[in-house]
């Protein structure tokens, strides 16, 4: 649920083309499988068909270009081994001509990356913030000023700078932004919010009266029973 689904590239110069070429190259080298660095299966056949539908629609109805076509590797099998069984589709990269394509705005939940070129920062942030979801957003840059500009304007609750999956570490919690489709009810699903939801905070207020015989004498010797409650500041 935290995998980046849309890549907005500001500009279309040589640097941007080099970036996209590298992304395409790396995605094309990913093999299907359950090992480290491999692309695993999707959850079921229905999910596989849904993913194919988005890719097919982008290509046939929206004029998008399929830069890496995972459909060529897609299969559904009930084989005897884990490597054979399951619903599989390879990494897919779609270069869109319009930001209104379904794959640009809806959650596919598959190994699909939508790419779109924008002309300016303002256009990039407008498209990002127009999305109804608000789980995460990130920016890749070597310029601190650029990073600050975007992180101040992103409409999402978990933000990354040169981090593609910006899930925060403890004690900060995982959760979407209020007012988006990534947030339901109150509090986050981890951290203090989860503790509040699944448990009760029990508060105990106590007062102990120190018996006269438990006080220390002026010369430091015990004047009575051991002070187990440590009223005198001693263990």
Tell me which residues are annotated as active site: 1
Q: 231, 232, 190, 179: which is closest to 207 by C-alpha?
A: 231
Q: Please give the structure tokens belonging to residue 193.
A: 């919010």
Q: Please give the structure tokens belonging to residue 50.
A: 């849904």
User: Positive or negative CA dihedral for 13, 15, 18, 22?
Assistant: negative
Q: Please give the structure tokens belonging to residue 169.
A: 């570490």
Map tokens 């593609």 to a residue. 164
- Identify the three-state secondary structure at position 19: helix
Q: Please give the structure tokens belonging to residue 142.
A: 């070597």
**Could you give the CA distance from residue 211 to residue 225 in angstroms, rounded to a whole number?**
10
**Could you give the CA distance from residue 60 to residue 196 in angstroms, rounded to a whole number?**
49
- Cα 222 to Cα 208, 210, 218: the distances in Å are 19, 14, 10
């Amino acid at each position: 649920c935290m995998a980046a689904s849309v890549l907005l590239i500001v500009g279309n110069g040589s640097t941007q083309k080099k970036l996209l070429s590298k992304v395409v190259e790396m995605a094309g080298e990913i093999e299907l499988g359950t090992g480290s660095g491999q692309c695993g299966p999707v959850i079921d056949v229905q999910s596989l068909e849904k993913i194919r539908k988005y890719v097919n629609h982008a290509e046939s109805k929206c004029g998008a270009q399929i830069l890496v076509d995972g459909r060529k590797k897609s299969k559904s099998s009930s084989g005897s081994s884990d490597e054979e069984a399951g619903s599989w589709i390879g990494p897919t990269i779609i270069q869109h001509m319009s930001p209104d394509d379904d794959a640009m705005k809806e959650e596919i939940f598959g190994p699909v990356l939508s790419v779109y070129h924008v002309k300016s920062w303002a256009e990039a942030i407008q498209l990002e913030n127009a999305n109804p979801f608000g789980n995460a957003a990130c920016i890749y840059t070597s310029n601190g000023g650029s990073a600050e500009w975007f992180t101040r304007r992103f409409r999402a609750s978990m933000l990354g700078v040169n981090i593609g999956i910006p899930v925060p570490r403890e004690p900060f919690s995982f959760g979407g932004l209020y007012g988006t489709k990534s947030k339901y009810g109150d509090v986050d699903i981890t951290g203090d919010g989860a503790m509040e939801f699944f448990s009760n905070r029990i508060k105990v207020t106590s007062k102990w009266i120190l018996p006269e015989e438990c006080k220390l004498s002026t010369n430091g010797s015990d004047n009575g029973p051991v002070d187990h409650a440590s009223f005198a500041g001693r263990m």
